[in-house]
């Protein structure tokens, strides 16, 4: 096999560890420079390929690339842009191949969630159809942890750790004050469709009665009456109640709880997320003083408290992507394969992209407690290893010392393309 260049792009919402995957991929490619040439990174994800805006990562020092391992966000820019079917988006797919051919790119690495795996699959198909030799590898990434075939998704473990720690810490605060002040605290976390992130807050519990007392999952229809009764029971027994609500919590009708807050003075739907709506329902019924927090981007960018396991897996998947590509495996996604829960052991597995695309993995029923407000021992066994270990970034002046790459583009060789 002769040397060829590679293209790598980050897709969709970024995470605390997607750059660790980029680090694993680029460092491995550098070690394999006899067979893999320049790794070009797409500026703003796949848009970088369509626009022929290719970041020449070979211009970055080894030190800068190594620092990606501890830097959150997407170092090359990411995007929300979905290629459709080959028929509908044929022009775009052909453009990708044109750009790849112009820059001698024969390895395509797409680092993202379900949509990205679908795109990577289609790139492999179009390459075949057009007779252009491209090896397409999908690399999993999503805080939502909703990809199939992989035991966990890079990005999730770190959000899980952040949410469990934040829940434990805020609960200590609420407990201290509950006699005369706040009795109900609601923390809103991500997870529009799957409750994995909210479920992870359950790891904060060490013994019966510990927070979180109620977890609201998208998988369990929100029954307001049952919920309110439970809040009162918990406050009466424990003195306070900590609730972790998935942004995707919804009524049996399918309506998001977050959308149920009514209209503001301008007739817009309530601005907020689910936390303020729920907190207000509790106040309206029981009069408890409440506080609420919405973690939003803080949770998925919190590299300072990333899970060491997550960082290691993110890196290993980037490394495996290069190894798979060089081994001639096409249209596959490296995965995390769990070998045992305790001690936690894992290895790299492999899934065909054709089967990964657009399958969403929700929490299984066996992970949700009978009352729907918590998680089971089985869920704990699954979740606990994913938040293991700390991997703090270096600090300078009291702040994490994150790297910013130069991101210099390679010269264009093609005419502009109207996306």
Active site residues: 144
By beta-carbon proximity to its own copies, the closer residue of 68 and 105 is 68
Helical (H) or strand (E) element with 349: strand 345-352
CB atoms within 10 A of CB 264: 11
β-sheet with 105-112: strand ranges across: 54-56, 36-42, 4-10, 105-112, 135-140, 332-340, 345-352
228 sits near its own copies (criterion: CB under 8 A): no
By beta-carbon proximity to its own copies, the closer residue of 2 and 268 is 268
Distances in Å between the alpha carbon of 251 and those of 212, 215, 329?
21, 15, 44
Among 121, 122, 304, 367, binds its own copies (CB under 8 A): 304
Among 65, 67, 174, 235, binds its own copies (CB under 8 A): 174
> Cβ 309 to its own copies, closest distance in Å?
8
* Interface size with its own copies, residues (CB under 8 A): 79
Among 32, 90, 280, 323, binds its own copies (CB under 8 A): 280
Among 262, 287, 328, 343, binds its own copies (CB under 8 A): 262
416 sits near its own copies (criterion: CB under 8 A): no
> Cβ 406 to its own copies, closest distance in Å?
14
Q: Which stretch binds its own copies (CB under 8 A): 55-63, 249-257, 264-272, 353-361?
A: 264-272
Residues 9-48 that bind its own copies (CB under 8 A): 10, 13-14, 16, 44, 47
CB atoms within 10 A of CB 309: 22
124 sits near its own copies (criterion: CB under 8 A): no
Assigned token pair, 265:
């003075």
By beta-carbon proximity to its own copies, the closer residue of 38 and 307 is 307
Q: Which of 101, 102, 103, 84 is nearest to 92 (CA)?
A: 84
By beta-carbon proximity to its own copies, the closer residue of 41 and 332 is 41
- Beta strand extents in 33-160 (DSSP E only): 36-42, 54-56, 105-112, 135-140
Provide the β-strand partners of residue 246. 189
> Cβ 385 to its own copies, closest distance in Å?
8
187 sits near its own copies (criterion: CB under 8 A): yes
196 sits near its own copies (criterion: CB under 8 A): no
297 sits near its own copies (criterion: CB under 8 A): yes
Distances in Å between the alpha carbon of 67 and those of 22, 64, 363, 414?
11, 5, 34, 33
Q: Which of 192, 189, 173 is nearest to 181 (CA)?
A: 173
Q: Provide CB contacts within 8 A for 84, sequence distance 6+.
A: none
164 sits near its own copies (criterion: CB under 8 A): yes
Among 73, 112, 113, 195, binds its own copies (CB under 8 A): 73
> Cβ 94 to its own copies, closest distance in Å?
21
Residues 86-105 that bind its own copies (CB under 8 A): none
By beta-carbon proximity to its own copies, the closer residue of 180 and 340 is 180
> Cβ 196 to its own copies, closest distance in Å?
16
Cα–Cα dist 130/123, whole Å: 10
For the chain, the C-alpha Rg in angstroms (whole number) is 23
Residues 353-412 that bind its own copies (CB under 8 A): 384, 387-390, 392, 395, 397-400, 402
């Amino acid at each position: 096999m002769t040397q060829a260049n590679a293209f790598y792009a980050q897709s969709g919402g970024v995470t605390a560890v997607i750059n660790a995957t980029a680090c694993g991929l680029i460092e491995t490619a550098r070690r394999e420079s006899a067979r893999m040439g320049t790794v070009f990174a797409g500026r703003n994800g796949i848009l970088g390929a369509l626009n022929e805006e290719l970041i020449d990562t070979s211009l970055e020092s080894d030190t800068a690339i190594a620092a990606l391992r501890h830097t959150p966000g997407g170092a090359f820019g990411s995007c929300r842009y979905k290629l459709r079917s080959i028929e509908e988006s044929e022009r775009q797919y052909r453009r990708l191949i044109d750009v790849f051919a112009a820059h001698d790119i024969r390895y395509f690495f797409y680092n993202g969630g379900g949509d990205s795996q679908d795109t990577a699959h289609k790139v492999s198909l179009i390459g075949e159809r057009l007779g252009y030799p491209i090896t397409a590898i999908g690399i999993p990434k999503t805080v939502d942890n909703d990809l199939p075939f992989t035991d966990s998704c890079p990005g999730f473990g770190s959000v899980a750790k952040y949410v469990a720690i934040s829940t434990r810490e805020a609960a200590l605060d609420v407990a201290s004050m509950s006699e005369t002040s706040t009795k109900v605290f609601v923390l809103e976390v991500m997870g529009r469709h799957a409750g994995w992130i909210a479920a992870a807050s359950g790891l904060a519990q060490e013994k019966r009665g510990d927070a979180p007392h109620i977890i609201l999952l998208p998988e369990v229809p929100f029954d307001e009456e049952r919920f309110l009764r439970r809040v009162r029971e918990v406050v009466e027994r424990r003195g306070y109640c900590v609730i972790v609500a998935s942004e995707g919590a919804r009524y049996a009708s399918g309506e998001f709880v977050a959308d149920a807050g009514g209209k503001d003075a301008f007739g817009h739907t309530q601005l907020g997320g689910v936390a303020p709506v729920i907190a207000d329902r509790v106040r309206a019924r029981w009069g408890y003083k409440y506080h609420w927090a919405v973690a939003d981007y803080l949770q998925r960018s919190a590299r300072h408290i990333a899970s060491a396991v997550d960082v290691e897996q993110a890196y290993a998947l980037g490394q495996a992507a290069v190894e798979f590509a060089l081994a001639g495996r096409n249209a596959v996604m490296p995965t995390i394969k769990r070998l045992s829960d305790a001690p936690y052991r894992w290895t790299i597995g492999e899934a065909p992209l054709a089967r990964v695309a657009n399958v969403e993995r929700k929490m299984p029923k066996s992970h949700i407690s009978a009352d729907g407000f918590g998680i089971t021992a089985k869920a704990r066994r699954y979740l606990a290893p994913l938040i293991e270990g700390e991997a703090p970034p270096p600090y300078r002046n009291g702040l994490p010392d994150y790297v910013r790459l130069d991101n210099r583009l390679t010269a264009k060789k093609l005419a502009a393309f109207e996306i």
